[in-house]
Structure formats: C-alpha cells, structure tokens
Amino acid sequence: MKVFDLVYVIEDDPITSIITELVVKQNAAFGEVQKYMNGQEAYDALVALQWAEEVPDLILLDLNMPVMDGWEFLDAFSALQLPKQVCVYVLTSSIHPEDMEKSRMYKEVKGYFTKPLDGDVLNQMVQLATGGRA
Amino acid sequence: MDMNYLYEELDQLQKNQSVIFDFIQDTALGGLWYWDLHNPENRWVSPSFWRTIGYDPNALLNEAEHWQSAVNGEDLAALNAQVRGCVASQTRRCEQIVRCTHQRGTTVWLLCHSLLMQDDAGQPYRVLGVFTDFTRQRNEEVYAQELASHYGSILSNQSVYIIKTDAQGNYTYVNDFFYERFGYDSKIIGTSSLQSIVQEDWPKCLGVVGRCFAEPEVPHQVILRKPYRDGTVKSNHWEFKGLLNGEGQVGEILCVGYDVTLLVENLENSQKLLALTKQQNHRLQNFAYIISHNIRSHSANLTSLVKLMQLSTNQEQSAMFLQMLKTSTDKLAETIVNLNEIVTANSNANQPKESRKLRQEVDKTLEALNVLIHESSIAVTIDIPAEVTVNVVPAYLDSILLNLISNAIKYRSTSAHPTIALSCYQEAEFIVLAIKDNGLGIDLNRHRTKLFGMYKTFHSNEDARGVGLFITKNQVEAMNGKIDVESELGTGSTFKVYFNESV
C-alpha cells in the first residue's frame, strides 16, 4: 500500500538525484518519482498542474541549489494554492543547526533528514507521515 | 517711646531689689569681677564666674590659690595694662580676652568688657569686668580651621584630580596633582575647563554637566580624555557633582577624577580581541559546517552507491554504478582540493605585502585569458593609469584578478556584444579597482547575502565551482580590504575591490 503515490525529488547533483530515485523505488510505500534539478524547475512544474491527481504527495527537497535554492522554493511554494496537501521533507547534507532551525519555521516542512538516504530513513519518513499507522 | 516707662521701672527695680541684679549676673553672664583700681588685689568675683570655669563657689576654701591657677597670668597682665591705658587716655571702656583654666584642665575663653568707675572727683577708682564665655564658638572655629587645613592637605596630596568649576565651567579650584600631571599652572583658574578636554568628548562632558544641574548634590560619572603634559592622551574617570549655593542654585561643580587610561586601553584591547575571536569562531564554525556539508554530500553518494552495487544483479546497472562511483570519488577529490585552497587563503593572513603596479598586473591577467577573451569576442577597455600602485600580497592579487575577470568572461552577455571595463579610483584610504561587465548579472535582492558564500552558484553553469568569490573575498579581507558588487539581472555586474593603502 503506497503512502506517497507521487514523489518529487528536487536535487541539483545528478548522481545524488539518481541514487535517491533508485533508493526510493526500493520501498513499497513510495510510488512514482519525478526529478527536478532545482527549485525553479519544480515550482514551474507545480504551477503548470491542472489536476489534483498530478500533485505530488511528497517532496524531497535539497537546500543548496543554484537558480532557486530550497529556501526560495519553500517561500514560493507556501504561496501556492494546491488542491491537495503536500508533505515536504528537507533532505540535505547540512547538519548546520541554523538550517534545521530555519526549516522549522516553515509549516510546510514536516521533517528534516540528512543524507545518505537509505531504507531506514525512508521508513522513518513513512512513520512520520502516517503517525505510525503504516 | 511708649515703652520707656518699662525701662524706668526696671531701672528702679534693680536699684531696690537685688534679685534683678543677681538674676542677670547668674544667667546671662559668664561672671563679674569688681576690683579696687588702687589696690587691685582687693576684688570681688561673682559666684557665676567660678561656675563658668567649673568650680563650686560655695566649696572654695582658698580662693586666692585657685585664682592663681585658674586665670591666665599673661592675659591678666594684659588686662591690667589695658585698664591703665584707659586711665591714661581717660576712656572708660575696654575689652580683653582672658583665658582661664577649667577645673577639668581645658581652656575657657572669656571676653572681658571692662568699665572704669569714677569717684566724686571724676577720678577712676574701680573697675567692673563683665565676662562672656565664647569657648564653644572659639572651639568650633578652631575645629573648622583644622578641618580646612586637613582637607586642604588631603586635596593637595592625593593621587586623584580634584577640581571645581563655576556654573559656566571655568576652573575655580584645581589641586596640585592635577597641575602636576597636566602641566598647567594657576593661570588656568578662570579659564574654560571644557577646552582642555579632547574635543570629541565635549558632548559627553556637557551631558554630565547637564545632569549635575538637573540632579545636584548627587555624583554623576563619566570617562573623559585629556592630553597629558607629554602630549599623550589620558582617559580619566570623573565624578561630577553640582554644589548648591545659598540660593539653592548650582553654583559650582566639584569634579573628582583618576586616571583609567590603562584600564580603558586593556578593556578596548580585550573587546577588540573578543570581537576578533568571535568573528573567527563564527567563521571557523561555518567553515566546519560547510566542510561537513560538502564532504557528506559526496560520502553519502559513495555509501549509497556501494549498497546499490551490492544489491545489483544486473551487469549493465553495476557498470553504471561503477561509473557514478568514479564520478563521485573525483568530485570528492576536487572538493578536498578546493577546501585546501580555502584553508590556505585563510591561514596565510600575515603574508608580507608588496607594492605592485595595478595596470601591469591587470595586463598580465588579461594576457593569460587572451584566448578566452578572443574566442568570446569580448571588448575589453582599461582605464588604469600606469603609475597606480597597490600594496598587496602578490599571489592574492593574481588570484583576485584572475577570478573576477574570468567570471566576467564566463557570465558574459549572450544577447549583446560583450564588454568588460576595468578602471580604478581613490576613495578615502582605498584604491578601488572596478570590473564592470554587461553580462548576465545577478539578482542582488535574492542573492546578495550569499554571493560571497561558499558553494553558492547562481546560474545553472556546469563548471561553476562555487568557491571563487568566497576565496576572493577571503583574500581581499586578509589584506584589510573589502569587496562590493553592483549588479542587475540582464544588465551586468560591477565588482569593486578596495585595496587598503593605509596599512
């Protein structure tokens, strides 16, 4: 049973992006993965959506990216009117307390995870989203 | 005039009733003497006199002996001389201080008003001495004088400055220590005290004086600077107090101060050191997080890739993972090289500076980038006089010029004919090098704070490393300079490097 039918991976490093996709696909709770190179690309895709079923269930967001970084994406994203609630998790290499603190300021951000992403981290993501029911 | 009847009545009364006379001499006076001018040893001394000098008049066994020891002989002689003078000059009244020794041994100060009485022939034959005891006033006066001289010596000999000014701020009193330390003499009395203070501190001084007027008789503290006699400037801690005059107005300001130069200097040094340490600490901490971030992003990939390879059953997929693994290790190696470069820029802050001709260095860099400039058909203009020199760490200048000019080339305009203009000018203690391009530009509203940060890239340019401007900023700051940018998306950027020529 899928918890997240559609997952956006927003990540500028192509290798990390591919790895994330592969790891996510190994977990049955995660469905389709769409990759975006930076915040701007993902935002443009979200703005262009017409149907509720096209809206992702989960966004895995890197912070440090060119063009539009994770924070700018969150600012733009929080102003969007989407037909469905989207769960956003920060997935970053930064363990800087300021970054963790700042991410807590966004109500859209439901979790902060540091790389590497693996099966355990994915299970935590599911637990967090379902409140332990899955 | 109406009251004259009372005087007459009193006069009459005291003639007839001895109780009046007794009452006056007992209560109002320190004593009475009455003696025979022709035989001065024949005298009458009132009981009140004895009481004044501590004796019980009823218990006096040998009056003559007590008289001898109680009344000061010199004063008595002087009194007699004065009386004889009165006789000679035919005056009737005189006065003389007569000291007596109290039974307890203390001195009793008496003022004796003498009146010469005349016989029927008009010749003086008796003397009436009326005594007033002024011992208490006398002692108080002496005490006050002692106190004044005592404090006077304290004021002069302390290693604190004690000065007084009038309400206009002109010196009215200055202690010796103040004269000595600041090389003044008494000519400064009456001159403005404000003038002797470092001008920058005038508002501070006037502020405290204002508080002295608003809240008199209460000390107000301030630290002010003043040139010392040898020309060095000393910091002094002062306590100002507004002193009220008889009319309840602040008439004088008392200022007590001491030298805190050493304390102030130590404090300033500690604060500077603290600020520097804080700044360094903050930088180091950020640096540690950045290193951690950059290494982790690659190591995380390596970890994941190894796991994926272990699970992989597909030969083709394994080959792809291996290729990705190679790319990741290359990137990790590159990251470490970059970090090394940054650490080097940060740690060699005290490299010796040399004078370099700016124009010559710019030409050299342009020469090195000649192929790129030519390929991209960039029009370069240089407006830097040949004689302008900058004081720099030569390796840093090379790196700064190379980085900024290559950025201008890299982010050149794709729509217009690309240009780069280099110029320089003087601003305060800085020689400013401006590098202006008409390229892509940067949205400073979005990126200003992170422009010079590490691993921040703003265009999806593949060979952007995200360390160039970070290193440039570090190198400029290591030479006590600064770097600034003006830019607009689509119009171009101007980077300004400030070379500090004062140090």
Per-residue pLDDT of chain B (503 residues; tens, 9 = 90+): 566 888 888 888 888 888 888 888 777 788 888 888 888 788 888 888 888 898 888 887 777 788 888 899 899 899 889 888 988 888 889 999 999 999 888 999 999 999 998 888 888 889 999 999 999 999 999 999 988 888 877 777 778 888 999 999 999 998 888 888 887 777 889 899 888 899 999 999 999 999 999 999 999 999 999 988 888 899 999 999 999 988 888 999 999 999 999 998 999 999 988 988 887 788 778 778 878 888 888 888 899 899 888 888 888 988 989 998 998 898 888 888 877 877 776 665 567 888 999 999 999 999 988 888 888 889 999 999 999 999 998 888 988 999 899 889 988 888 889 999 999 999 989 999 999 999 888 888 877 777 777 666 555 555 555 678 888 888 888 888 899 999 988 889 999 999 998 86
Q: Does A76 touch chain B (CB under 8 A)?
A: no
Preceding peptide of A116 cis, ω within 30°: yes
The answer to whether B476 and B417 have CB atoms below 8 angstroms apart is no
Whats the size of chain A, residue-wise?
A: 134
- Residue B229, classed as helix, strand or coil, is coil
Max intra-chain CA distance, chain B: 161
Q: Within 10 A of B58 (CB to CB), how many other CB atoms are there?
A: 7
A16–chain B Cβ distance below 8 A for any pair:
yes
3-state SS assignment for residue B312: coil
Name the 3-class secondary structure at B129.
Answer: strand
DSSP letters along B382-449, please?
A: EE--TT-EEEE-HHHHHHHHHHHHHHHHHT--SSSPPEEEEEEEEETTEEEEEEEE-SS---HHHHGG
User: Domain spanning B158-259: which CATH class is it, in words?
Assistant: alpha beta
Q: What element of type H or E holds B66? A: helix B63-70
Residue indicated by tokens 């701020």 = B169
Interface check A75 vs B, CB under 8 A = no
B327 touches chain A (CB under 8 A): yes
Chain A, nearest residue to B306 by Cα: A19
The minimal CB distance from B292 to the residues A13, A95, A118 is found for A95
One-letter-per-residue 3-state SS of B240-284: EEEEECCCCCEEEEEEEEEECHHHHHHHHHHHHHHHHHHHHHHHH
User: How many residues can be counted in chain B?
Assistant: 503
Give the CA radius of gyration of chain B.
49
Q: Do residue A116 and residue B458 have CB atoms under 8 angstroms apart? A: no
Q: Which domains does chain A have, with CATH numbers?
A: 4-130 (3.40.50.2300)
Indicate the burial class of B487 (C-beta count within 10 angstroms; 0-12, 13-18, 19 or more).
buried
Question: B335 CB near a chain A CB, below 8 Å?
Answer: no
Q: Which residues pair with B131 in a beta bridge?
A: B31, B112
- Tokens 């979790």 belong to A111
A114 touches chain B (CB under 8 A): yes
What residues of chain B lie within 8 A of the CB of A19, using their CB?
A: 301, 304-305, 308, 324
pLDDT of B62: 77
- Chain B within 8 Å of A44 (Cβ-Cβ)? no
* Best residue in B324, B460, B463 for a mutation probing chain A (most A CBs within 10 Å): B460
Collapsing DSSP to helix, strand or coil, B457 comes out as coil
- The CATH number fitting domain B266-347, selected from 1.10.287, 3.40.120, 1.10.10, 1.10.3470: 1.10.287
Whole-prediction pTM value?
Answer: 0.54
- For residues B222 and B216, is the Cβ–Cβ distance under 8 A? no
Q: Which superfamily does CATH assign the domain made up of B354-500 to?
A: Histidine kinase-like ATPase, C-terminal domain (3.30.565.10)
Q: Which residue of chain B has the CA closest to A99?
A: B289
From chain A, the residues in CB contact with B286 under 8 A are 96
Q: Which residues of A touch B321 (CB under 8 A)?
A: none
In chain B, domain spans:
4-140, 158-259, 266-347, 354-500
For residue B474, which phi and psi values (nearest 5 degrees)? Answer: -60, -40
Judged by a CB distance cut-off of 8 A, whether residue B446 touches chain A is yes
Q: Is A95 on the interface with B (CB under 8 A)?
A: yes
Task: Tally A–B CB contacts below 8 A.
Answer: 67
Residue B61: HSE in the Cβ half-sphere, 13 Å Cα cutoff: 0
Chain B residues close to A94, C-beta within 8 Å: 289, 292-293
Whole-number Å distance between alpha carbons of B204 and B197: 10
What architecture is the B4-140 domain classified under in CATH?
A: 2-Layer Sandwich (3.30)
Query: Which residue in the set B300, B303, B460 is minimally distant from A66, CB to CB?
Result: B460
Say if B266-347 and B354-500 have the same CATH topology: no
Report how far residue B327's alpha carbon sits from residue B332's, in angstroms, rounded to the nearest whole number: 9
Residues B301, B430: contact at Cβ < 8 Å?
no
Nearest Cβ partner of A16 from B301, B458, B464?
B301
The residue type at B135: T
**Distance, CA of B144 to CA of B436 (rounded, Å):** 81
In the predicted model, what is the mean pLDDT of chain A? 89
State which amino acid sits at residue A50.
Q
